A and B are shown apart, each in its own frame.
Chain A
Amino acid sequence: MNQDILVLVEQVRGQVADITYTMLAQARQLASAGAKIVALLIGNDAEALSQDLAADEVLYVDHPALKEFNGEAYAHLLAETITRLAPRLVLLGDTTIGADVAGWVSARLELPLVSCCRTIHAEGGDWVFVSPVCGGKLVAEGVLPAQTTVVTMQPGGFRTEQGRSAQPPHVARLEPPALDGLRITLKQYTEPQGEDVDITHQPLLVAVGRGIERQDNLDVVQELADALGGTVCATRPVVDQNWLPTSRLVGKSGKTVKPTVYLALGISGAPEHCEAITGSEMIIAVNTDPVAPIFNLARYGTTLDLLDLAPVLAEKARAVKVR
């Protein structure tokens, strides 16, 4: 085993996901002198995606069957690569892509696995991981074992720019394996319901979570958003109830947003949500629970009831706009 770090590149429909850059940034920070950062890119006609990856080397596997994400193929390829390279650390995203692969590989190769990791830092000769657990209410810290370890990373620990490179890395093409026996195939994508607004391009987002309690209270929130000139979005519990369409979902299985201001109303701050808003310039949180994890992420906060605050804030905002 060497000190190399292997990163699995996540790409969906021809775009490299931000989490990849986060992982590369993490790898950059950890890699000691002489250690290589290797990125594993899988796809079809996707070599160009390797251009700005901040890796020392990119291993690229090309095959028509790998155009879209395939959990089985990715797992096999990753396992093979790990066996060949014997790296110190294998980084995958703690995402709907990485989490499908990590456990399979960990079980198959009998490698230890750390999931939901926020950051890894060096401490003397040890590598120490920090992971939020229990909905963000606790933080776990531990030393990575001295053997090849698989780690799935959450977004937010690093700025994605740190994982980009101006210089394209060296790309080595790997022989694609025999892929006829694949037991999983992607049939088709389903677009999110056609919606007027793309929340990823809005400067001011008014987000609602469980704290809104009932669907009728959405009116109050919409009023506030209108008064502020912002857009309403939501966390999973709200979308699951069909109070808002999935196009408004912000979170691990929804959209990642980077607005100028993110106003979080009645949102506790579970990691699945928080990971998608860490890019916001400013987060303001309204939650009656003074120890809600969202307050660790927000710049400003208040424990007032959102139903009391929203109408008053809307009125004042309207007054300002009139002036």
Chain B
Amino acid sequence: MLNQNLIISKMKERRTSGNFTQKVIFCFAMLVFFAGTVLAQTKSISGVVKDASGETIIAASVIVKGTNIGTVTNIDGEFKLNVPANAQTLVVSYVGMKTEEVKISGNVINVTLTDNARMLDEVVAIGYGTARRKDITGSVASLKADALAAIPVTSAIEAISGKLAGVQVTTTEGSPDAEVKIRVRGGGSITGDNKPLFIVDGFPVESISDIAPSDIESMDVLKDASSTAIYGSRGANGVIIVTTKSGKEGKVVVNYNAFTSWKKMANTMPVLGASDYAKWQYELALLKNNGEADSYEKFFGNYEDIDLYDNVPTNDWQNLVFGRTGFTFNHNLSITGGTDKSKFSFSFSNVNDKAIMEMSSFRRDNLTFKFNTKVSKTVTLDFSSRYSNTKIYGGGANEQREVSSADSRLKHAMIYTPFPIKDLTSESGASDDTEVGNLYNPLVNLSDNDQQQFRKTYNMAGSVTWEVFKNFKAKAEVGYDDYSNKNNRFYGMTTYYIKNVPSSTNQNHPAVILTNTDRSTIRSTNTINYDFKKLLSEDHNLNMMVGHEYIWQQSGALTTTVHGLPTGFDSQTSFNLTTQGFANSISNFYDPDDKLLSFFGRANYDYKSKYLLSATFRADGSSKFSAGNKWGYFPSAAAAWRVSGEDFMADSKNWLDDLKLRLSYGTAGNNNIPSGQMTQSFESKTTTWINGFGSYWSASKIMANPDLKWETTITRNVGIDFSLFNSKLSGSIEGYWNSTVDLLINFPIPGTGYDSQYRNMGETRNRGVELSLNWMAINKKNFGLNFSGNIGFNHNKIMSLGLMDDFGASSGWASTEIGVDYWIATGGSVGQMYGYVSDGRYEVSDFKEYNATTKKWILNEGVADASGVIGALRPGSMKLKNLTEGDNIVNVDDRKIIGDANPLHTGGFTMNGRLYNFDLSANFNWSFGNDIYNANKVEYTSTSKYQYRNMITEMESGKRWTNLNADGTLSNDPAELTALNANTTMWSPNMDRYVFSDWAVEDGSFLRLNTLSLGYTLPKSVLNAMKISNLRVYATGYNVFILTNYSGFDPEVSTRRQTALTPGVDYSAYPKSRQFVLGLNLSF
């Protein structure tokens, strides 16, 4: 609904500027109506059609009521019509405006149409069909092409961000191919993937990132079960229906859109400069080695010469790695056209994106073709094909299927030595266990983790619709979808992988893993639709649809692992010359098929458009469950009452345009687990760990569960749609209560012999309220302004975890140093962070004395001892709260819930304005009340077991606790230490391991001006001379500003996504950029 204002403003443009499409409509309407003109006893009438602002309307339809006699207005809004002498009424209509009926009196009839802002006739995709917005009983949010076109984006999902109530869109990091997490009303699963079902032109697909935004006609998000139940088994997390553009009748139209953008890293984190770094290294060397400086002197020289580092030039690694100016060029050409019998559309899009990170770029080509023809009066054929080819270069800043978090890239840009140090290279501490471990030149680290991804998708579908008899339509669709992904991963000399995974002879030689994934899906759908128009009186409308669908997906992966490539080979050479290495394994793995057989039906009934009822039922049989559990049944029902249609509401007509109450209840399912979980299968795997054996057989690490069944979500939804003051203010309010039962959980069962097992256990609940509003503040001829906004509150609660009360999950960014840092408990929600409570630092007064013989500081009685977590304590050590009674020791029992990744509410608002030929729009989005687990901050401010790493300025001299006397010795004198640290605020970074405390949990609330766009449409007069029907140029700023208290790079982040249990971790995310876009839209 939010897009209405946009659409309307577009329409205005059309009316005023004589948009091309309009001309087409005009021509066609002329043709159609010309043919229908009856030369009988007639009189001639004429007139002008205008809108409320007095602007003439081109191509408005003017029809004599009850006949097919009519015409359309010309370019000046004028019409001339010969009408039968007895004609009484003219019906004047125009898309997007209220249809007027005018009495024919006299020969000149001028008509003024008013905006129909509610767009009740807007068509919404509801699954296996469409419906008019006004007839909808469920909860559906929509975004139309105009809204998408107004914002230049390279990925369709970006366009939804902040635009649809109850749809939370999180771009997990800043890379060009970053995963975008979409949650519709929170999502019910715990470990499962809560991603909604994507349907593109009827076809279920894994992702819509490979679809060019310019090809999209509309995106409809089905939110409650009454709308999703038609997708039965897979609708539990919402359904996003993407409809791509089809051909239109008329002469051939060519559209060309192009934009180009420049981008820079949006934010940096300052690190210690050379002299402070050297000073800290000296203190750390003393702290780590009981006051001996050997490990400092080895690399830095004598302490007396430390001032030599004051003027050493430093490398700004963040700038060297992420600092380049990214450049994107995106263009799209589409050609559409057709006759009343056949229509076609063709489009080509290309994106070329050089990202801000070195070695990182992105390219995508899309080709689509659609063809539609009426074979006979009763038979229509549709054909469509889509092809996309995506190439992604560069390894990104981290990866989900990592061998070790040691290979995460961002950290090297932060912690690497600011200046080159002789001998302090990766080799001087190559083992991950030593103090110098993992200290690699960030650029080398980048090229050593290079990756290329080549993704191709093609999709072909054909359908035939046969109107067997009046209002009875049978439709058969067959489609084929093919996806192939080629992933080339390179492991260079500095990676953990090549030091640990290959057999000894091939260690310390580059390695590549080439993975070719193929997936093909065949879909056959047959539906029968009958509109009971003929059998019922005019007041009753009944429409029924029954259908059947079969989806068969086959997939597999060929993984070739090549070890022992010659040292010195870079990534490209290694990919090209794999024969120079040794095949460690060639694994051709076929997944069990995923088959789904479904039967479904839907009935929609309304009485005078006042009382609306709909019922849906779907039965799904899935190959993922064993006999007895295969079939799931998902019924739903919904009712709506158009209050404004009642007679007793007649008085309010002057201010209330429309008021509708909606109520729905239904179930939807989820089978989003890997295939083949019913029986324990024996798999053959490669090994480099056992002498004399290259492979072994074992049961998979996930234990089979023959008792698996469908996860079911029960949705209850109430909604009110309203439109007030001649549609100046419209909107809707919805409330929902979703319960998900028999959750499919990938449940950890460590210690039993397997790692995990899929189970149906537990229950979650999502409750929430959504509100969207649209206010057309000003709507004058040359000046318009409107606002729209939406907000969604969602509260997720785990009602039950079956057998257990709670369990922990580990995000694993610090390997094993931190362990469990998320806690999943009954009564809580997924995303609760679990750790220690920071108590600042140990002050001198916390200690009784320093014992010079044992070289230890002795704590005062009653002061909590955190040495088990932090390491040996001394004044300045990080202090943690002891939460358990009975001891005074901080240990694992003293952790609690310290953060929650779930926002209280998310939303967005948009402002659109126009002034003469200029248009301006600003899109904001926000998230409020969620916490971010700033793992970066922990890593960049604590030493853990490592030495020689740099830190961020959070720990710069003057802020961090210091133990260093001016003479270069460690101070153990209470008074002296107190004096040294009179002005410091932070604890000492020196600790044995990384510690997750509430200090690292930060408020992730933000408000972002996502886009700010200024456009100018060239005047008609200029364009006519150039034979161009429309030309708009615009400039857009992306990520213009962000208001947040978050101290990291960007609060919109979630990088530990290997399990759904650990959302909201900011660890080594690819930094986001700020972008400036210039573009043009051209039609002729």
The finding on whether chains A and B are genuine partners in a shared complex, rather than unrelated, reads no
The interface of chain B, by Cβ under 8 A from chain A, is none
